Amino acid sequence: MSFADQVGLLLDGCKSAFGEACEYRPLTGAPYAVTGIFNLISADVLGAPGVAVQSHEPTLGVKLADLAAAPKQGDKVLIRAVEYRIARLEDDGEGGSLLFLHKV
């Protein structure tokens, strides 16, 4: 089993344990159901040595293979009856992406 396959299994296990149903709303195309790991407030981020920067953006972790197309800035997600817009995203290089959200 390749490393990528093992990472995919890990992402599936995390989704199963911690994921919740969401509706992905791309800028173009029809909305669809997806499971992601939602954090209402994200954690501290290390900046320069000895400096912590606190981020208060909600985030949604997704497995890229679960999406119909690559996520884009401006796409929207409906989570817990609240609509969010993707402000920025960070792919992890291993098949997952962290979507930083702003409430619409």
Provide the CATH number for the domain around residue 95.
2.40.10
Show the domain range for 76: 3-103
Q: How many domains does the chain have?
A: 1
Q: What is the pLDDT along the chain (104 residues), one digit of tens a residue?
A: 888 788 788 878 878 889 999 999 999 999 999 999 999 876 556 666 766 666 678 999 999 999 999 999 999 999 999 999 999 999 988 889 999 999 99
pTM over 0.85: no
As to burial, measured by CB atoms within 10 angstroms (0-12 exposed, 13-18 middle, 19+ buried), residue 10 is: middle
Residue 24 CB-half CA count within 13 A: 24
